[in-house]
Amino acid sequence: MIFQHLDKPDDDQPGLRAVLSEVYKRLISIDPDYAWTSGQWMMERKGGSNVRDTETVARRLTSEETQRDQKLGRDLDADEMPMGPWQIDGFKWCSSATDSNMAMMLAQTDKGLSAFFAPMRRRTGSHAVGKYELNGVRIQRLKNKMGTKGLPTAELELKGTRRWMIGKEGNGIKEISAILNLTRIYTTNGALGFWGRALSISRAYTKTRNVRDGLLQDNPQHLRWMANQTVDYWAALHLAFFGVALLGTTEQGRHVHDAREQMLFPPDDASLKILLRLLTPVMKAQVSVKSVEGVRACMECLGGFGYCENNEDGGIMNVARLFRDTAVTPIWEGTVSIMAEDTVRVLTDKRLGHSVVESVFGTWVKAVLKNCQDEGKFEKECSLVRSRLETFIGIVKQMDVPQLRWQGRAVLEHVEAIACACLLMYDACVDDDEVATEIARRWVWSKVLPGSLRQEQSEWRS
């Protein structure tokens, strides 16, 4: 979000560009003494999904007010950078990373919701150099959460917080979406990390736990269950990493890939961005929900031991904690229904082209399938994926927006099933790996065949 404004002029906020340039350097730094972390405070009492009801207000300080702060030496932040010319008052109901150095947020101005940045701390005054206070932020109370205990989440009262406006006044939702798309990819990968850890723990457990006829790892029923879990995990892993690769390619260009890798990406930059835009809410929703289910299954794999708080060895075997931490991932950064709604928004947005589902998603799918068939693999599987794609294209074309929203979760499943099939088969073609090939086949045969859509359609009343 900040990167997009580095080259823009200060306009009516003198000093903004220099501040943003420093903030950007700190946010991407890996030097712990210099790097900053950031919170993003959107949610208010009236709701997190619907930020349009934001009650926090921002007003431009008068020149007398800025001069007064300047005289008192209260116009600098804790890193001696100038403070912005806006003041914010309001209440943020559920704000994480309250121990960070800065925060991005939304607040109402006369022209509507706008985006702002502020450092967390400011100088108390020129008479007290080196003394700092919170920048108009009062922590009302910490949330008592089910998990993610290492991350402080709080109710914050904002009074006189000095801020810089980012982007155009009234353009806050568009501005903040740059952050949301990133945090959704991070959430996806965080959820996946929890799931991967839980799977490793349960695999290790099967090597030592004795059941009736021997070790748990040799029990066919248990093995089959775990194998199916692993197929789901691999599919999620490929989808999430493809999201990261798409993001990296949009930021750094396709020259970072070799010729073979480039075949996995849409050939033009516009399609690349739209595919990323489409897959981001899908992976956020599907991977986070499946991670919760997956970690729960791993907990069950460990029997009663899995349900206990195993904090010996620093808690690395504590699947119960992993479960609590994973459980938030389908909620924060947008719930599953909000992700489904967003996916429908992309699929039906005429500004992105005549038919995103055909011209971007369909074209990408067909290109990857062709690549697999050129390798002489997965002939039957490719035709199954093609037929699921045709079904999906038909649905998107036939239904109007309210009906597609009503089908939101089915839409997510269609995109996930098709995209993961392509990625798993492509991966198996790269080196003919036996396990990758088997996993790709199992995914296609278990997930790509269309489900009970016809029955659901008959229930729709507009």
Ligand X SMILES: Cc1cc2nc3c(=O)[nH]c(=O)nc-3n(C[C@H](O)[C@H](O)[C@H](O)COP(=O)(O)OP(=O)(O)OC[C@H]3O[C@@H](n4cnc5c(N)ncnc54)[C@H](O)[C@@H]3O)c2cc1C
The residue ranges that bind ligand X (CB under 6 A) are 39-43, 47-49, 94-96, 145, 148, 153, 328, 331-332, 334-335, 337-338, 341
Which CB, 355 or 403, lies closer to ligand X?
Answer: 403
Closer of 46 and 207 to ligand X (Cβ): 46
Q: Name the closest residue to ligand X (Cβ).
A: 48
Output the smallest distance, CB 339 to ligand X, in A. 9
Q: Please identify, using beta-carbon distances, which residue of 264 and 327 lies nearer to ligand X.
A: 327
* Contact status, residue 317 vs residue 310, Cβ threshold 8 Å: yes
Shortest reach from residue 44's CB to ligand X, in Å: 8
Amino acid code (one letter) for 206: T
* 396, 347 contact by CB (below 8 A): yes
Residue among 321, 305, 308, 242 at smallest CA distance from 278: 242
- Contact between residue 413 and residue 232 where contact means Cβ atoms under 8 Å apart: no
Closest distance of CB 150 from ligand X, Å: 11
φ/ψ of 60, rounded to 5, equals -75, 130
Nearest to 3 by CA among 24, 26, 34: 24
Beta bridge partners of 295: none
What residues contact 257, with CB distance under 8 A and at least 6 apart? 249, 264, 265
Say if residues 265 and 257 touch (Cβ distance below 8 Å). yes
The residue (of 19 and 344) whose beta carbon lies closer to ligand X is: 344
Closest contact distance (angstroms) between CB of 406 and ligand X is: 10
Cβ proximity to ligand X, 148 vs 291, nearer residue: 148
Q: Cβ closer to ligand X: 337 or 355?
A: 337
Q: Pairing relation of β-strands 102-109 and 38-41?
A: parallel
Radius of gyration, CA atoms only, the chain? 25
Q: How far is the CB of 399 from ligand X (least distance, A)?
A: 16
Contacts 24+ apart (CB under 8 A), 452-455: 453/391, 453/395, 453/407, 453/410
Least Å distance, CB 18 to ligand X, is 27
Nearer to ligand X, 99 or 261 (CB): 99
Check if the beta carbon of residue 88 is closer than 8 Å to that of residue 118. yes
Q: Least distance to ligand X from the beta carbon of 382, Å?
A: 35
Nearer to ligand X, 264 or 415 (CB): 415
Q: How far is the CB of 153 from ligand X (least distance, A)?
A: 4
Are the C-beta atoms of residues 162 and 84 closer than 8 Å to each other? Answer: yes
Residue 97's closest CA among 36, 158, 167, 56? 36
Least CB distance from residue 389 to ligand X, whole Å?
26
Nearest residue (CB) to ligand X, 43 versus 385: 43
b/e map of 74-99 (b: 16 or more CB within 10 Å)? Answer: bbbbbbebbbbbbbbbbbbbbbbbbe
Q: How far is the CB of 145 from ligand X (least distance, A)?
A: 5
**CA atoms of 380 and 392, how far apart (whole Å):** 19
| Least distance between ligand X and beta carbon 157 (Å) | 15
Cβ-based nearer residue to ligand X, 143 or 209? 143
Place of tokens 């914010």: 88
Query: Using an 8 Å Cβ cutoff, are 115 and 169 in contact?
Result: no
Q: Which is nearer to ligand X, 13 or 329 (CB)?
A: 329
